[in-house]
């Protein structure tokens, strides 16, 4: 039997298949997002690694979505600093507002209040007047407007409590004194007179138990009143003094006469 050998046609067919098969494999290459074929043409719907296509507006699974931006920036602020208030007042040291806020420094809401202690209210000694633009309080603090952008500092203007002193029963004018002042400043020329009586001093009541000395310190809430009452003691009539003096004189003279007349004589003893 004759041996069979591959024909020339069979050899050509095998070689053709070997050349065509790689080309078919290259034609089915998956392009990642952003890659282009060698010819430079862009791909309208690039495929994902899983074989699907990316629709318009979608984000590939392996990429983070773009950060969302708020179209408004953070609003600016400014700070008001408060200075010069005595410790008996409740008040913030600083407050922060958004730019564009209006602030009226004369409003009741910005007036400081006393601390929660009645003693401070009556004897604290200070009254708040207004907020100022300088520490010497020569210029009232201007109000904050919508155009204000920078920080602002204001100072408190205060004064001492004022107390009215009344001299009951006398024609002396009422005297207004400041908290903490002493009585000697107003009593040096207040010495009333009364016929037949001697002025003892000023007292706080008609019981005359608490005398007002020169070092008495005025305290009290603003607008309060203190009443002073004068105390007198009746003087003795002149004849009383004369009688006393005469009696004393007669007593002395009588003793001298007795001593001279009845002085015991010492007897002389001869040795």
* Residue-wise DSSP of 89-144: EE--SEEEEETT--B-TTSGGGS-EE-S-HHHHHHS-EEEEEEESSTT--SBPPPB
- For residue range 195-249, list pLDDT tens digits in order: 889 999 999 999 999 999 999 999 888 889 999 999 999 886 665 556 677 778 7
Stated as kind and residue range, the H or E segment containing 240 is helix 238-261
Q: Which residue reads 């095998």 in tokens?
A: 14
CATH architecture of 162-234: Sandwich (2.60)
Through-space distance between the first and last CA atoms of the chain, rounded to whole angstroms: 216
State the average pLDDT over residues 10-26: 65
Fold agreement between 77-160 and 162-234: yes
Per-domain boundaries in the chain: 77-160, 162-234
Quick one: tokens of 113? 């209040």
CA 208 – CA 210 distance, rounded (Å): 6
How many CB atoms sit inside 10 A of residue 101's CB? Answer: 13
Q: Which residue reads 């210029």 in tokens?
A: 139
CA 88 – CA 170 distance, rounded (Å): 37
Domain 77-160 fold is Immunoglobulin-like (2.60.40)
Quick one: tokens of 64? 């983070």
- For residue range 98-126, list pLDDT tens digits in order: 999 999 999 988 888 888 765 655 556 88
Give how far Cα 74 sits from Cα of 77, 102, 142, 152, 195, Å.
9, 19, 27, 21, 84
CA 227 – CA 197 distance, rounded (Å): 22
- For residue range 177-199, list pLDDT tens digits in order: 999 999 999 998 999 999 889 99
Whether residue 174 is predicted with pLDDT greater than 90 in this model: the reply is yes
Q: Which residue reads 């009593």 in tokens?
A: 187
pLDDT class of 135 with cuts at 50, 70, 90: very high
Residue 26 is predicted with a pLDDT of 56
CA 124 – CA 219 distance, rounded (Å): 9
25 bridge partner residues: none
């Amino acid at each position: 039997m004759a041996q069979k050998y591959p024909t020339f046609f069979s050899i050509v067919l095998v070689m053709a298949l070997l050349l065509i098969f790689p080309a078919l494999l290259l034609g089915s290459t998956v392009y990642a997002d952003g890659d282009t074929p060698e010819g430079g043409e862009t791909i309208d719907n690039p495929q994902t690694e899983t074989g699907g296509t990316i629709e318009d507006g979608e984000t590939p699974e392996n990429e983070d979505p773009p950060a969302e931006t708020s179209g408004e920036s953070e609003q600016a602020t400014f700070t008001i600093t408060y200075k010069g208030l005595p410790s008996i007042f409740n008040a913030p040291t600083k407050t922060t507002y958004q730019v564009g806020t209006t602030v009226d420094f004369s409003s009741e809401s910005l007036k400081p209040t006393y601390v929660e202690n009645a003693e401070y209210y009556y004897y604290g000694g200070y009254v708040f007047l207004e907020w100022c633009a300088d520490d010497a309080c020569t210029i009232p603090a201007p109000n904050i407007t919508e155009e204000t952008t920078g920080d602002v500092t204001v100072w408190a203007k205060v004064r001492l409590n004022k107390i009215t002193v009344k001299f009951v029963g006398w024609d002396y004018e009422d005297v207004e004194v400041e908290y903490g002042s002493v009585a000697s400043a107003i009593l040096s020329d207040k010495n009333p007179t009364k016929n037949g009586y001697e002025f003892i001093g000023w007292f706080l009541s008609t019981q005359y138990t608490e005398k007002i000395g020169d070092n008495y310190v005025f305290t009290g809430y603003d607008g309060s009143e203190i009443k002073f009452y004068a105390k007198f003691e009746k003087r003795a009539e002149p004849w009383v003094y004369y009688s006393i003096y005469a009696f004393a004189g007669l007593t002395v003279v009588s003793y001298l006469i007795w001593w001279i007349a009845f002085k015991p004589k010492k007897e002389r003893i001869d040795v």
